[in-house]
């Protein structure tokens, strides 16, 4: 088996990026350390990957992190988790430049400015930007969405995940369920919508009979939607399924203001496993979609391409976990 740059890094007790810089004469590091790394590589019989060498020419050490939108980000939590995930892997080796696709002027992407680009795509309109990145031959990873394109994808099955949350409510005897959804034009919303409907059908229930309220993934929209639910008159729901945790916390406050309790009167579920979900005064039952891990894996895939010349256009699916806490009442008891 051929010796890899990672084998050399382990033998030298340094990171593979340090080995890469030493072998390619990049930077102004310690010359003694560089010579030691070169000697170890020669002794191990390391043969450089020519594709990797070609990729290292004229490096900018900039990685572009493009979100579908910055100005109308669905939740600050998503932005924070993705940024921390990328920085955790890219470290000090690369500069991370954050931009919004909706603010990009078509045709203006400069290939010399980016070594690679991570795209967090949520809209069909993003395809034009993805095509421009591809046409300009910039290494790219697409995260949080499955796109049938010549580039690696790292995402989760959000339909299955939302189905798990609805299944939990049904298994606990809930039939009068309302749903607070997110931005209708986002792929995540469409997938989660499909997921809870499939779960209803699987249990012999009619999804068209479920009242659906529109939110935008922000706290205020969850609060307002819950108020509409509680003020509509007639029999109240026994449960509200929210498309993210931020809206669930907004819904919780509306429920409390109406003199009701969670889960005593109304059960509540969220999605994302937001920071506050586990240790706030409401321990929310939710689905964990670990945005940080998605970002980390996407960054690892991109760095393998940039630093080692490994081209892998596979689709990687990370698991979503149902986190059961204290906000779903069992009506079967």
Residue 26 or residue 157, greater confidence: 157
Query: What pLDDT does residue 276 have?
Result: 66
The H or E element spanning position 148 is: none
* Choice among 45-54, 89-98, 115-124, 202-211 with the minimum mean pLDDT: 45-54
| pTM score | 0.71
Query: What pLDDT does residue 24 have?
Result: 67
| Per-residue pLDDT tens digits for 137-194 | 999 999 988 777 778 899 899 999 999 999 999 999 999 999 999 999 888 899 999 9
Q: Give the residues across from 118 on adjacent strands.
A: 65, 141
CA separation (Å) from 285 to 40, 62, 225, 242? 52, 39, 19, 11
CA distance 93 to 299: 12
CA separation (Å) from 98 to 64, 120, 218, 322? 6, 11, 21, 31
Checking if the pLDDT of 9 tops 70, the result is yes
Q: Please, what is the average pLDDT of the chain?
A: 88
Query: What pLDDT does residue 49 have?
Result: 61
Query: What pLDDT does residue 47 have?
Result: 73
- Beta carbons of 123 and 184 less than 8 angstroms apart: no
| Per-residue pLDDT tens digits for 292-333 | 999 999 999 999 988 888 887 788 888 899 999 999 999 998
Query: What pLDDT does residue 72 have?
Result: 66
Which residue from 291, 272, 284, 277 is spatially nearest to 65, judged by alpha carbons?
A: 291
Q: Report, as an integer, the average pLDDT of 234-262.
A: 96
CA distance 249 to 245: 6
CA distance 295 to 290: 9
- Name the band, by pLDDT with cuts 50, 70 and 90, for residue 274: confident
CA distance 143 to 78: 12
Query: What pLDDT does residue 3 have?
Result: 80
Query: What pLDDT does residue 57 have?
Result: 56
């Amino acid at each position: 088996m051929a010796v890899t740059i990672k084998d050399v890094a382990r033998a030298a007790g340094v990171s593979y990026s340090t080995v890469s810089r030493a072998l390619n004469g990049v930077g102004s590091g310690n010359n003694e350390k560089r010579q030691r790394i070169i000697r170890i590589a020669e002794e191990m019989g390391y043969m450089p990957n020519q594709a990797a060498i070609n990729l290292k020419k004229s490096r900018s050490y900039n990685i572009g992190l493009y979100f579908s939108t910055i100005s109308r980000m669905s939740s600050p939590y998503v932005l924070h988790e993705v940024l921390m995930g990328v920085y955790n892997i890219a470290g000090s080796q690369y500069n991370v430049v954050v931009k919004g696709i909706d603010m990009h002027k078509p045709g203006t992407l400069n290939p010399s400015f980016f070594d690679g680009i991570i795209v967090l795509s949520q809209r069909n309109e993003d395809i034009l930007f993805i095509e421009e990145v591809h046409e300009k031959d910039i290494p790219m990873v697409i995260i949080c969405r499955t796109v049938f394109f010549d580039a690696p994808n790292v995402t989760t099955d959000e339909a299955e995940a939302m189905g798990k949350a609805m299944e939990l409510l049904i298994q606990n005897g809930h039939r009068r369920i309302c749903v607070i959804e997110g931005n209708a034009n986002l792929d995540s919303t469409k997938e989660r919508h499909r997921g809870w409907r499939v779960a209803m059908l699987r249990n012999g229930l009619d999804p068209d009979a479920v009242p659906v309220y529109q939110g935008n993934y922000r706290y205020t929209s969850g609060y307002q939607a819950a108020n509409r639910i509680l003020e509509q008159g007639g029999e109240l729901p026994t449960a509200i399924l929210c498309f993210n945790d931020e809206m669930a916390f907004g819904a919780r406050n509306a429920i409390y203001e109406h003199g009701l309790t969670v889960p005593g009167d109304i059960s509540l579920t969220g999605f994302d496993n937001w920071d506050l979900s586990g240790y706030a005064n409401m321990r929310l039952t939710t689905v964990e979609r670990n945005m940080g891990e998605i970002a980390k894996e996407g960054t690892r895939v991109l760095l393998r391409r940039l630093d080692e010349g490994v081209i892998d256009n596979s689709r990687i699916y990370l698991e979503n976990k149902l986190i059961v806490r204290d906000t779903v009442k069992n009506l079967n008891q």
